[in-house]
Amino acid sequence: MADNQQIEMVGMNRSAYLRVLAFFLAPAVLIYTLFSVYPLLATIFDSLYLRHEGGALTFNGLGNFQTLLTDETWSKPFWNALRNNLIFFIIHMCVQNPVGLALAALLSLKQLAFRNTYRTLIFMPTMLSVVIIGFIWQLILSPLWGIWKMGLNAVGLGVLFGPYLGQEHTALITISLISVWQFVGIPMILIYTALLAIPDELVDAATVDGLNQWQAFFHVKLPLIWPTIGLVSVLTFVANFNAFDLIYAMQGALAGPNFSTDIMGTLFYRTFFGNQLQLGDPTMGSTIATMMFVIILMGLLVYLYVIQRRIQRYSF
């Protein structure tokens, strides 16, 4: 019915109409299906098979997942990577997003001079390749060059200097903070835009009612930008559980020292491609990719059903 109405409106017969639809939609749908949807489904499918020596495949149900979660040789690296990834994410949530929010709050203040200059410059590291950023920080932290050491000495904290990237208990935190330094621009820009969209009258009314700048921010502006903060959180989650480049560029595929910086992305890469310690295993690689998919999906569902609903209930 709807189709016929539409054809009349456009003034074509049915086959010409279908040709038009196919012409406009086919390229996008085909390339997206072939290079994005199909590989994702094939990966999930692959994770259900077992690869034998010689390359033969047999159906294994959820056996690979059982192996991954319970077999000591697989489960240890898996839980380690998941835990590290969680720490990586928590550091982003606790440092990157609050700092981004604070910067956005300052930038959105009325009559602030040079606001666009600040915004453009602070966003700059986000533009650069993670590989470049990783290397730059490696040089800065290097005891050989000693820039960081000089900096610490200058403020009297020289004793804190150490080979951060080479120690198991500091490497992951250091890399997380470098990632935070690079990507703080994204929450900043998103929250900044949301803050600018708040009508001036609302804030003015609050100030007239006797609220000071701080109170106006926490009681008027902040509640209005919860949806944006929710979005920033879910973007952070997806990006963090999909991260790979920075660790690979700074610590290599083995995510050293002693796997202390191993996250899901590097574990996936190593399992699939193999490395000095093991041969590549495509089906276990697919199993890990599927686990990553499940984790990201759970994050998205929590966002859609819990965070967004609650926000809707509280907003007006």
Partner 1 sequence: MRSRFSTIAIHAVLLGYTALALFPIILVVMNSMKMKRAIFLSPLTPPGPASFDLIGYHRVFSDGAIGTYYMNSIIVTLGTIFFTLLFGAMAGFALSEYKFRFNKLLGLYLSIGIMVPIRLGSVAIISLVSGMNMINTLSALICVYVAQNLPLAVFILSEFVHQIPKDLREAARCDGLSEYNIFFHIILPLLRPAMATVAVFTMIPVWNDLWFPLLLAPSGGKQTITLGVQQFLGQYVTDWNAVLAALSTAIIPVLIFYVLFSRQLIRGLTSGAVK
Place of tokens 């000693």: 146
Examine residue 51 and tell whether it contacts partner 1 (CB under 8 A): no
CA distances from 301 to 1, 70, 226, 296, 305 (A): 35, 26, 17, 9, 6
Among 80, 153, 170, 242, binds partner 1 (CB under 8 A): 242
Amino acid at 245: D
Examine residue 2 and tell whether it contacts partner 1 (CB under 8 A): yes
Examine residue 298 and tell whether it contacts partner 1 (CB under 8 A): no
Are 118 and 107 contacting, i.e. CB atoms less than 8 angstroms apart? yes
Are 193 and 108 contacting, i.e. CB atoms less than 8 angstroms apart? no
Among 193, 258, 275, 278, binds partner 1 (CB under 8 A): 193
SS3 readout for 269-281: HHHHHECCCCECC
Least distance between partner 1 and beta carbon 111 (Å): 8
162 CB-contact burial (10 Å; exposed 0-12 / middle 13-18 / buried 19+) = middle
Among 95, 282, 308, 311, binds partner 1 (CB under 8 A): 282
Examine residue 218 and tell whether it contacts partner 1 (CB under 8 A): no
Among 74, 78, 137, 164, binds partner 1 (CB under 8 A): 137
Size of the site for partner 1 (CB under 8 A): 90
Examine residue 161 and tell whether it contacts partner 1 (CB under 8 A): no
Tell me which residues in 57-96 interact with partner 1 (CB under 8 A).
none
Q: Cα–chain-centroid distance for residue 26?
A: 31
Nearer residue to partner 1 within complex by CB, 169 or 246 = 246
Among 132, 202, 298, 306, binds partner 1 (CB under 8 A): 132
Examine residue 226 and tell whether it contacts partner 1 (CB under 8 A): no
Nearer residue to partner 1 within complex by CB, 58 or 169 = 58
Question: C-alpha angle 218/224/227, rounded to 5°?
Answer: 120
Examine residue 56 and tell whether it contacts partner 1 (CB under 8 A): no
